Amino acid sequence: MFELSEEHLIMSSDDHKLKLTTHRVIFDNTKKKEQIMLEDYQGYEFVTAHVGTYKGLAILTNGISILVLYLIWSTQDFSFIELGKSMFMIPFVLLSGLTFLLYRLSRRYFIRIIGKYNVIEVRIENPKHKSIKRFLQRIKEESDLQKMKYSVEQKNV
């Protein structure tokens, strides 16, 4: 990663992994350093993802519950009262509810900062937090400023 002359740090995240300078947005990941020049900034979007293990577990337990329900339902003397009293069904219903709850709690939020040539994806805790909105607004303001300076320089050349 190269250093630009007259570049100053404007803002950084609490963990100092995401930095906004006067010329670029830098994400310093443990694997690599990514950057988007402010002239190339196009926007951002919020993305959500879930942990795949919980999703698979929820599908499996709900599938087993539906299968057991179908097997009980296919008997001639089926009634909802018998289903409620069935000790065999209770563990599957509890496990299904628990995996659904874990699946809902496993949601992860990301901000995808989009540049003309690359994308930076940063994990965040809450997309509605004021500091995140301020950071994104400041990126937009600095990007507009850099684009304006770049267009003036192009006209002068």
Distance CA 127, CA 123 (A): 10
Distance CA 106, CA 94 (A): 18
pLDDT in tens, the chain (157 residues): 556 677 889 998 888 889 999 889 999 888 888 999 999 999 999 998 877 777 777 788 778 777 877 776 676 566 666 666 666 667 777 877 887 787 777 788 899 999 999 999 998 888 888 989 999 999 999 999 988 887 777 777 6
pTM to 2 decimal places: 0.67
* Residue with tokens 């919020």, as numbered in its chain: 46
Distance CA 69, CA 88 (A): 10
Distance CA 135, CA 11 (A): 7
* Ordered strands of the 18-21 beta sheet: 9-12, 18-21, 24-28, 33-37
* Residue with tokens 């000790």, as numbered in its chain: 87
Nearest CA among 55, 52, 75 for reference residue 63? 55
